[in-house]
Amino acid sequence: MDASFWLESWRDGGTKTSFHRRDVHPFATRYLPAHELAGKRVFVPCCGKDNVLNYFRDNAAHVVGVDLARSAIEEYMADNGIALDEVEPGRFEGDGITLLARDLFALTADDLGAIDIVWDRASLIAFPDEGPDSLRQRYIRKMHDLLSPGARILLVTLEYGPIMPEPPFSVDPATVRGYFAEGFAVDHILDDAQPNHRMVEKFGLRFFSEHAFEMTRRGEKRHDGARTRELVAA
Ligand SMILES: C[S@@+](CC[C@H](N)C(=O)[O-])C[C@H]1O[C@@H](n2cnc3c(N)ncnc32)[C@H](O)[C@@H]1O
């Protein structure tokens, strides 16, 4: 699942981008209701052209999305009839929204600005966890690095069997805890079994569940003289 896999998926479209939903994912509106988004800055890693960007643009102070595929961002603008300004190569700005056509692994906290909330749907589970320093391990480290104490991630994963060698990968709750428990308080808030999900019939699955987690970056912010030092628990 290197860059070319995703760039080709966006180029070919059709079933290769069947992860794209026409609606706003119901967990976004359920767990991040509009009144909780007021004044918040939201980050959507691996955003594709997800309509959830519109929900955050409408209800949060600002949404920042990043996707490797510039074509995904161009499709987002075309689908929604908006023209964002490309203020520097690969950085698109508009009212309440910034979209970055960049590699997530090259992002710095300065690229994003302060982030209060992360929406991760089909992002962690898009990366394989094979071998040392896997893409998924690098993704998990990146979330630890980019987020300050108190920032929350709303993470959605899929758990199904038998497992498949391509995204979306099956990631169960115990594995999520193992990935994040050191740096985040992890709350498993939903196990939503969906025996009639389209993937069950398409891939002959025996079971299929969509999980939601709320995870809060550990640590405390301490005012230390003229500057605030962030102390992140080990
Ligand atoms: C399964 S799609 C999910 C898209 C979106 N989150 C949604 O729910 O519709 C995964 C996305 O991750 C993007 N992606 C993969 N590797 C990336 C990377 N290293 N940096 C930024 N985006 C990446 C792909 O281009 C693709 O749009």
DSSP letters, the chain, are: --HHHHHHHHHH-GGGGTT--SS--HHHHHHS-HHHHTT-EEEEET-TT-THHHHHHHHSSEEEEE-S-HHHHHHHHHHHT---EEEETTEEEETTEEEE-S-GGG--HHHH---SEEEEESSGGGS---STT-HHHHHHHHHHHHPPTT-EEEEEEEEEES--SSSSPB--HHHHHHHHTTTEEEEEEEEEE-TT-HHHHHHT-SEEEEEEEEEEE--EEEEETTEEEEE---
- State which of 84, 100, 115 marks the end of a domain: 115
69 lines ligand 1 (CB under 6 A): yes
Higher pLDDT, 233 or 114: 114
Identify the domain containing residue 220 by its residue range: 122-234
**Residues 165, 190 within the same domain:** yes
Total Cβ atoms within 10 A of residue 110: 6
Cβ of 121 less than 6 Å from ligand 1: yes
Of 115, 133, 152, the one marking the end of a domain is: 115
Same-domain status, 167 and 223:
yes
Instruction: Quote the ligand 1 centre to 166 CA distance (angstroms).
Output: 14
Atom number of ligand 1 nearest to Cα 72: 27
| 101 shares its domain with 55 | yes
Q: Are residues 128 and 180 in the same domain?
A: yes
In this predicted model, what pLDDT tens digit does every residue of 164-180 receive, in sequence order? 999 999 999 999 999 99
Q: Let me know whether 59 and 133 are in one domain.
A: no
Residue where a domain stops, chosen among 59, 84, 115? 115
Residues 111 and 134 in one domain: no
Substitution site in 12, 21, 67, 134 for ligand 1 pocket (most atoms within 8 Å of beta carbon): 67
Q: Quick one: 220 and 110 in the same domain?
A: no
Please give the distance, rounded to the nearest whole angstrom, from the Cα atom of residue 2 to the centre of ligand 1.
11
Same domain for 163 and 69, yes or no, is: no
Residue 68, ligand 1, Cβ within 6 A: yes
123 CA → ligand 1 middle, Å = 6
Q: What is the average pLDDT score of the chain?
A: 93
Same domain for 6 and 108, yes or no, is: yes
Q: 76 with 147, same domain?
A: no
Mean pLDDT of 133-141: 96
* pTM as predicted: 0.93
234 near 182, Cβ under 8 Å?
yes
User: Are 183 and 75 within one domain?
Assistant: no
Compute the distance from residue 225 Cα to the ligand 1 centre, in Å. Answer: 41
The domain spanning residue 196 has which CATH number? Answer: 3.40.50.150
CA 112 to chain centre: 14
> What is the per-residue pLDDT for 233?
45
Instruction: Judge if 107 and 3 occupy the same domain.
Output: yes
Q: How far is the CA of 44 from the centre of ligand 1 (A)?
A: 10
Q: How many domains does the chain have?
A: 2
The verdict on the CB of residue 122 being under 6 Å from ligand 1 is yes
Q: pLDDT for 7-27, tens place per residue?
A: 999 999 988 998 999 999 999
Tokens of 124: 């962690």
Q: Pocket of ligand 1, candidates 46, 76, 127, 210: which has the most ligand atoms within 8 Å of its Cβ, to mutate?
A: 46
